[in-house]
Amino acid sequence: MSTISCVIWDCKVRDRQIVVDGQGVAMYIMSMVIEQEIISDEEIRRQKEKARRLRKSNWWMRRIQEGVCYYCYQKVGRSNLTMDHVVPLSRGGKSTKGNLVPACKDCNNKKKYLLPIEWEEYLKTLSERSHTI
């Protein structure tokens, strides 16, 4: 099976297919619906402020209590965890409890603006490379 890469700004996911605009290429993926919307600077500012408030909450303190990264499962300690948006703000994510996870600085810096499916593909690629060396 071949892998097709695309920039999500040019993609729409509907009915278990991803269609790359302008190229007519389709690929079967998990059942999910993603549509890119234009996110205003004002909306991103509001969402960042909401995240700052949540970072001070008891809910967040419980989330980071064990000091484990959501992505790599490494125990890095509470002080070394950052708040990550699973679906980044720039990609339409919100600062909600369901979209915020504790991540080590290394994972958060590598993930940047990737969506979960793109992040998983990145990790899979790294794993495959390490097995061929």
Domain 39-132 CATH (choose: 1.10.30.50, 3.40.50.2300, 3.90.700.10, 3.40.50.1370): 1.10.30.50
Q: How far apart are the first and last CA of the chain?
A: 22
Q: At residue 5, does pLDDT exceed 60? A: no
Average pLDDT rounded to a whole number, residues 25-45: 59
| 103, 69 Cβ separation under 8 angstroms | yes
| Closest to 57 measured CA to CA, from 23, 103, 95 | 95
pLDDT category at 31 given cuts 50, 70, 90 is: very low
Of the two residues 4 and 125, the one the predictor is more confident about is: 125
Residue 56: exposed, middle, or buried by beta-carbon count in 10 A (0-12, 13-18, 19+)?
Answer: exposed
Q: At residue 108, does pLDDT exceed 90? A: yes
| 120, 70 Cβ separation under 8 angstroms | no
For the chain, which residues make up each domain, given as ranges?
A: 1-36, 39-132
Average pLDDT, the chain: 78
